[in-house]
Amino acid sequence: MDGPTLSPHQVKVFLAFKAHPLAWYTNLEIAALSGVAHRTARLHTARLATAGVLDQEQVFPGYRFRLAAKPTKPAQDCAKRLERAAQVFGL
C-alpha cells in the first residue's frame, strides 16, 4: 500500500469487502456499499489489489474484486493496519 497514511475512504472500502468476504464486486457496487464516490472506490480497490489485500479478476465489462482468498504476509499486515485504522476512525 503506497503512502504511510490511511484515509477514512480507504478504510470504508476495505470494510465493505470485509463484510462480504466471498463476494465479487465491481467498483460501482463497492462505491454504493461503502458510501464513497465511484472514482474513490476505483482508486482504493486498485491500491488494495496491488497490496494483495484484494483478489482481482478482469471480466466483461471490467474488473471484479473480493478479499484475497490467500493473502500474503504483507497483505495480512496491511489488512490488520486497515482494521486498526477503522477503530481509530470509529468506523
Q: Where residue 47 sits, what CATH number does that domain have?
A: 1.10.10.10
What's the grid cell of residue 30? 463497492
Poorest-pLDDT segment among 1-5, 9-13, 25-29, 43-47: 1-5
What is d(CA 72, CA 53) in angstroms, rounded to the nearest whole number?
A: 8
The whole-number pLDDT of residue 3 equals 57
Q: pTM (2 decimals)?
A: 0.90
Q: Which of helix, strand or coil describes residue 38?
A: helix
- The average pLDDT across 30-49 equals 95
Position 45 in a domain: yes
* CA gap 14, 7 in Å, rounded: 11
Confidence band for 79, pLDDT divided at 50, 70 and 90:
very high
Q: Is residue 28 part of a domain?
A: yes
pLDDT score of 60: 86
Q: What share of the chain is helix, strand, coil (3-state, %, to 5)?
A: 55, 15, 30
For residue 59, is it within any domain? yes
Asked if the structure places residue 89 within a domain, the reply is no
Alpha-carbon span 20 to 18, nearest angstrom = 5
φ, ψ for residue 3, nearest 5 deg: 85, 145
